[in-house]
Amino acid sequence: MSSFERFPSWIDGRLFAPGEGCVSSDDQGLLSGLSVFETVLREAGTAWFLDRHLARLEQGAAGLCIARRFDPQRAVEEYCAALGQRDCALRLTLTRGVPEAGSTLVIGARAIVRPPDPGVRVTLERDAKDAHDPLESYKSTNRLRNVLLRERALAAGAFEALMLTKDGDVCEGTLSNVWAVVDGVVCTPSTQRGCLAGVMRGVILEELERGCLAQRVERLELRDLERASEVFLSNTTGRVLPVIEIAGLVAGLPGSHGPVLRDLRERIAAAEAHWLAAR
């Protein structure tokens, strides 16, 4: 699938051809960033873990005082019916809308971008995040920092940038959560350190618990990355993304050949099969 493929949009109950949908110039999401969003992986007609994504959307909307007018579940069903069987990354954006008119719900899609094998290179961005900022818990469209830092990583030949807090610990990527296997323990930052509670992050934590694999959810330090036998990222569209190099810190990581990552890929596939069967 071409990364330039265009998709229709669904806006407040109406379907539009690619490029034809619009929102009001008075929309508070456009003017002030008062909006939350979710990205959902859709493959072979299945929108994976949609219920979890919608729950997080609702949580973020409540935090930003956005009262929705449309049912996101029904909206996704209508939109996907129009897409047919096309695989894509769905994007749901819920804004506070025009004052006194109510919220705006927009659904669009883009092609899925798969990371290369055996893995990706990442960069480090120091002093990028405040671990104690409560707004970090919302998946809002206020992502200027993340966008610019990832652009800098791409310009340096990397796939992603890992952001450090002002305290010096590793927080997350610009579009991913980060994991390291240290002395056989799978480590990832706590949400108390300013990282977003990713949907795939939650799935992985459940699978680690179910598989009796040792895990540590607290601070993740640079020295942990230096000592790690495996490092990988997680997000919705990539599931688990193997890392082969952290620029300026460590190289020669096993990437997709790492045993923990291979095991997790199998466990995630089983979790998806169980989730699908339950529906």
Q: Using one digit for the tens of pLDDT, what is the confidence trace for 138-188? A: 999 999 999 999 999 999 999 999 999 999 999 999 999 999 999 999 999
Residues 106 and 134 in one domain: no
Residue 155 lies in a domain: yes
Q: Domain ends where: 110, 137, 152?
A: 110
What span, in angstroms and rounded, lies between the C-alpha atoms of 8 and 84? 12
Residue 1 lies in a domain: no
Residues 74 and 142 in one domain: no
Q: Domain ends where: 59, 91, 110?
A: 110
What is the tens place of the pLDDT at every residue in 204-242?
Answer: 999 999 987 899 999 999 999 999 999 999 999 999 999
Length of the chain: 279
What span, in angstroms and rounded, lies between the C-alpha atoms of 124 and 122? 7
Contact 19, 122 (CB under 8 A): no
User: What phi and psi values does residue 119 have, to the nearest 5 degrees?
Assistant: 165, -175
**Is residue 189 reached through a cis peptide bond, with omega within 30 degrees of 0 on the bond before it?**
no
Residue 177, CA distances (Å) to 1, 70, 144, 148, 230 in order: 26, 30, 18, 18, 14
What span, in angstroms and rounded, lies between the C-alpha atoms of 170 and 179? 10
Q: Would you call 122 helix, strand, or coil by DSSP?
A: strand
Q: Please give the pLDDT value at position 34.
A: 97
> Domain containing 248 — which CATH number?
3.20.10.10
Dig out the tokens for 236 from the structure. 């919705």
Dig out the tokens for 64 from the structure. 């930003």
What span, in angstroms and rounded, lies between the C-alpha atoms of 175 and 268? 19
Residues 126 and 216 in one domain: yes
Residues 34 and 64 in one domain: yes
Q: Please give the pLDDT value at position 133.
A: 94
Single-letter amino acid code for the residue at 276: L
- In the chain, the percentage of residues whose pLDDT exceeds 90 is 95
Which residues, at least 6 apart from 121, have a Cβ–Cβ distance to it below 8 Å? 157, 158, 159, 243, 244, 245, 246, 247
> Domain containing 93 — which CATH number?
3.30.470.10
Residues 71 and 158 in one domain: no
Q: Rounded mean pLDDT of 53-64?
A: 97
Count of helix runs (H) and strand runs (E) in the chain: 7, 15
Q: Please give the pLDDT value at position 139.
A: 96
- Structurally, the chain folds into a number of domains equal to 2
Dig out the tokens for 8 from the structure. 């229709």
Query: How would residue 279 be classed by pLDDT, with cut points 50, 70 and 90?
Result: confident
Residues 150 and 67 in one domain: no
Q: Please give the pLDDT value at position 213.
A: 87
Contact 100, 222 (CB under 8 A): no
Residue 59 lies in a domain: yes
**Is residue 2 scored above 60 in pLDDT?**
no
Residues 224 and 103 in one domain: no
β-pair type (88-98, 46-47): unpaired
Q: Please give the pLDDT value at position 239.
A: 98
Residues 99 and 145 in one domain: no
Residue 263 lies in a domain: yes
Residue 4 lies in a domain: no
Residues 41 and 148 in one domain: no
Q: Domain ends where: 110, 128, 144?
A: 110
Residue 3 lies in a domain: no
What is the tens place of the pLDDT at every residue in 19-35?
Answer: 999 999 999 999 999 99
Residue 115 lies in a domain: no
- In the chain, the percentage of residues whose pLDDT exceeds 70 is 99
**Is residue 1 scored above 70 in pLDDT?**
no
What's the predicted TM-score (pTM) here? 0.95
Alpha helices in the chain (DSSP H): 28-32, 50-63, 72-83, 144-155, 199-210, 222-227, 259-277
Full domain range(s) for residue 254: 120-275
Residues 154 and 93 in one domain: no
Residue 2 lies in a domain: no
**Is residue 3 scored above 60 in pLDDT?**
no
Residues 174 and 74 in one domain: no
Share the mean pLDDT of the chain: 96
Residues 128 and 230 in one domain: yes
Residue 146, CA distances (Å) to 27, 109, 141, 196, 221 in order: 23, 20, 10, 12, 20
What is the tens place of the pLDDT at every residue in 100-120?
Answer: 999 999 999 999 998 899 999
Q: Please give the pLDDT value at position 48.
A: 98
